Amino acid sequence: MSPALDAVDQRLKSLEAHLAQENPVLLSTVQSFRALDKVAHAMGLLAPDQSYANQIPWWPLISVLGTFSAGKSTFINHFLGYKIQRSGNQAVDDRFTVICYAREATPHALPGIALDSDPRFPLYNISRDIEQVATGEGRRIDTYLQLKTCPSEALRGKILIDSPGFDADAQRTATLRITNHIIDLSDLVLVFFDARHPEPGAMRDTLKHLVGETIGRPDAGKFLYILNQLDTTAREDNPEDVVAAWQRALGEEGLTAGRFFTIYNPDAAVPIEDEGKRKRFEAKRDNDLAEIHGRMREVEIERAYRIVAALDKTAKDIAEKGVPFLNRALQRWRQRTLWGDGIALGLLLILSLAGTIQIGYWSSPAAQPGWVATLISLSLDLVFLAVLLAIAAGIHFGIRRLAALSLVRSLRPEAKALGIRGDLMAAFERSTKPWRTLLTSSPTGWTGAAKRRLAQIREEANLYVQTLNDRFTNPSGEQAGEATGLTSAPTTTAGVQTATTASD
């Protein structure tokens, strides 16, 4: 096994060891990802040191985004029951903080490299993305990220990410890249706004980034929009107008999905003297907090389904999108190569005709004796043929390479638009290597065995979904084991073990 493949294998073994303790239902899906990696490695979709299993977070991920002083950190402290995040009226932290469970009673704060270098966490290798948008910043990963541990039982089996306050005008491109990356990976996204700032129109840029750009996402239901610190508006004649103003602002950004909640911190609320208004505020707060906390507790179930869905989608995309794309690209490449070969062949025929004339002169009876002419003619023919073949081969492989390069620019946007996990352009390049003949119509690595392997992976994904359904649903109403968490790994029929708040 090559060093790169050995490194991937070690990372997957580490993942399996952790899943055996934390999420046994998902344990066997790692084997399916291994099989998927073999197909992708053979096709060139993945580099030898890459794995699809390392491209998704295996632990449920909840991200908390929002404006400065919107109460994000205090909300997290309230949910965990620990004051792990600093809070205040001003921006107190300019880094993304990943918070995970640890048994030790004393919380720990670890540098960003702990996240960037560990494939089990959602920001693995994020320094590469940062480096792409801000040269030199990838080496300063500790200024962007930190990891904190907490013994809160509310955190067991999931990961929270607290983001720095969002100010669209002041954000660096690298920070925006991390934000978008986190949103893509998250199972639940809580977006906080501050009710103490009743002019949402002044935050148009922020609203655009935190709301407008979520429109049209297939996972828009994972966004919860939270107007926090509503207690500060209780003294207004019509506090409902504040809520309505924010709802209009969100609607103007095209918000058509996701819930809108109004909450405040029950432990540090501004006193509301009017008893009727206080009860109304408290009832709305308690209902909304209960729903938010409920979504946060159930996020591990959503993550289990998302991982299986990612497995199935990746296998499906390779077979139904990736391979057809490569077939079309290779057909265009062959056509360009054959046209180039045809032109080159015509030029070589002209050269060969000129060479034949010269050979005819040197081998003519007038120029040389008969036997000498014959020997010279034969020698020159062989030399000329060898040279001609060498030139033809060099021209052919040069044309192949130029034909492939000429297609890259037009193919890259199409490949990106497909949204397939893996590098389609690397797969195309591998399929146009010199040892590949023009007669081979299928992409490199796309064999009958690969087709059967992907079909089997999709069948296994269906079985994993059935196992999850058996654990979390009970349509028949029959007596069954608890279905409140990922605590066991049933065996499938195929014999595969399935794996509100004060200010920040």
Q: Are residues 285 and 389 in the same domain?
A: no
Strand order through the sheet with 96-101: 109-111, 145-150, 96-101, 159-162, 61-66, 188-194, 223-228, 259-262
Average pLDDT over residues 420-441: 88
Confirm if 396 and 344 have CB atoms less than 8 A apart: yes
The predicted pLDDT at position 239 comes to 64
Query: Does 308 map to a domain?
Result: no
The predicted pLDDT at position 489 comes to 40
Domain count, the chain: 2
> Which stretches does DSSP call E strand in 202-301?
223-228, 259-262
Any idea what the Cα angle at residue 254 is, between residues 253 and 257, rounded to 5°? Answer: 120
Size of the chain in residues: 504
Q: Amino acid identity, residue 117?
A: S
- Directed axis angle between helix 29-43 and helix 299-317, to 10°? 30
Average pLDDT over residues 312-326: 95
The predicted pLDDT at position 227 comes to 84
Query: How do residues 70-129 score in pLDDT, each as one tens digit?
Result: 788 888 888 888 888 776 554 455 678 888 888 887 777 888 787 777 766 767 777 777
Q: Amino acid identity, residue 331?
A: Q
Average pLDDT over residues 177-202: 76
Task: For residue 155, give the CATH number of its domain.
Answer: 3.40.50.300
Pick from 388, 429, 387: which is nearest to 407 by CA?
429
Query: How do residues 365-400 score in pLDDT, each as one tens digit?
Result: 554 555 555 665 566 566 666 766 777 778 888 888
Q: Are residues 292 and 325 in the same domain?
A: no
pLDDT band (50, 70, 90) for residue 228: confident
pLDDT at 21 over 90: no
Average pLDDT over residues 303-308: 87
**Prediction pTM value:** 0.69
Query: How do residues 249-259 score in pLDDT, each as one tens digit?
Result: 777 766 655 56
- 110 vs 485, more confident: 110
Q: Are residues 338 and 291 in the same domain?
A: no
Average pLDDT over residues 406-419: 90
Query: Does 480 map to a domain?
Result: no
Query: Does 393 map to a domain?
Result: yes
- Directed axis angle between helix 370-418 and helix 424-431, to 10°? 170
Any idea what the Cα angle at residue 246 is, between residues 93 and 273, rounded to 5°? Answer: 85
The predicted pLDDT at position 163 comes to 83
The predicted pLDDT at position 262 comes to 83
pLDDT at 309 over 70: yes
- Scan for tokens 């299986």, then name that residue: 308
Q: Are residues 328 and 286 in the same domain?
A: no
pLDDT band (50, 70, 90) for residue 173: low
pLDDT band (50, 70, 90) for residue 456: very high
Query: Does 280 map to a domain?
Result: yes
- 75 vs 496, more confident: 75
pLDDT band (50, 70, 90) for residue 487: very low
Give the domain-ending residue among 453, 472, 489.
453
Q: Are residues 323 and 248 in the same domain?
A: no
pLDDT at 148 over 70: yes
- 262 vs 316, more confident: 316
Query: How do residues 29-48 score in pLDDT, each as one tens digit?
Result: 999 999 999 999 999 999 98
The predicted pLDDT at position 98 comes to 86
Percent of the chain scoring above 90 in pLDDT: 17
For 89, counting Cβ atoms within 10 Å of its Cβ (0-12 exposed, 13-18 middle, 19+ buried), the class is exposed
pLDDT band (50, 70, 90) for residue 444: very high
The parent domain of residue 216 ranges over: 59-297
Cβ atoms within 10 Å of 100's Cβ, excluding its own: 20
Query: Does 488 map to a domain?
Result: no
Separation in Å, CA 169 to CA 176, 183, 206, 280, 493: 11, 19, 8, 37, 55
Confirm if 152 and 81 have CB atoms less than 8 A apart: yes
Element spanning 297, H or E: helix 275-297
The predicted pLDDT at position 197 comes to 64
Query: Does 82 map to a domain?
Result: yes
pLDDT at 285 over 80: yes
Q: Are residues 82 and 187 in the same domain?
A: yes
The predicted pLDDT at position 472 comes to 73
Q: What is the mean pLDDT of the chain?
A: 76
Q: Are residues 347 and 249 in the same domain?
A: no
Q: Are residues 275 and 374 in the same domain?
A: no
The predicted pLDDT at position 478 comes to 61
Collapsed DSSP state (helix, strand, coil) of residue 188 = strand
Pick from 2, 29, 13, 27: which is nearest to 119 by CA?
13
The predicted pLDDT at position 229 comes to 79
Give the whole-angstrom CA distance, residue 433 versus residue 162.
46
Among the ranges given (66-75, 130-139, 201-210, 490-499), the one the predictor scored with the smallest mean pLDDT:
490-499
Q: Are residues 229 and 362 in the same domain?
A: no
Give the whole-angstrom CA distance, residue 32 versus residue 384.
56
Confirm if 52 and 32 have CB atoms less than 8 A apart: no
- Scan for tokens 């904190």, then name that residue: 148
- Scan for tokens 């609607």, then name that residue: 251
Q: Are residues 274 and 146 in the same domain?
A: yes
Name 143's bridge partners. Answer: none
Pick from 405, 398, 399: which is nearest to 340 by CA?
399
Query: Does 504 map to a domain?
Result: no
Query: Does 115 map to a domain?
Result: yes
Q: Amino acid identity, residue 106?
A: T
The predicted pLDDT at position 471 comes to 79
The predicted pLDDT at position 24 comes to 74
Give the whole-angstrom CA distance, residue 118 versus residue 220.
28
Give the whole-angstrom CA distance, residue 302 versus residue 187.
7
Tokens read off for 461: 């994904």
Rank 150-159, 359-368, 391-400 by mean pLDDT and report only the highest: 150-159
Percent of the chain scoring above 70 in pLDDT: 72
Give the domain-ending residue among 235, 268, 297.
297
Q: Are residues 390 and 257 in the same domain?
A: no
Separation in Å, CA 418 to CA 323, 395, 422, 432, 440: 11, 34, 11, 21, 24
For 332, counting Cβ atoms within 10 Å of its Cβ (0-12 exposed, 13-18 middle, 19+ buried), the class is middle
Among the ranges given (279-293, 335-349, 406-420, 424-438), the one the predictor scored with the smallest mean pLDDT:
335-349
Confirm if 233 and 198 have CB atoms less than 8 A apart: yes
Tokens read off for 141: 């990963």
Give the domain-ending residue among 453, 472, 493.
453
Average pLDDT over residues 316-324: 95
The predicted pLDDT at position 369 comes to 54
The predicted pLDDT at position 427 comes to 94
The predicted pLDDT at position 3 comes to 73
Give the whole-angstrom CA distance, residue 45 versus residue 312.
16
Q: Please give, one letter per residue, the 3-state secondary structure of 138-178.
A: HHHHHHCEEEEEECCHHHCCCEEEECCCCCCCCCCHHHHHH
Separation in Å, CA 383 to CA 198, 345, 369, 391, 457: 88, 18, 21, 12, 56
The predicted pLDDT at position 214 comes to 65
Q: Are residues 333 and 291 in the same domain?
A: no
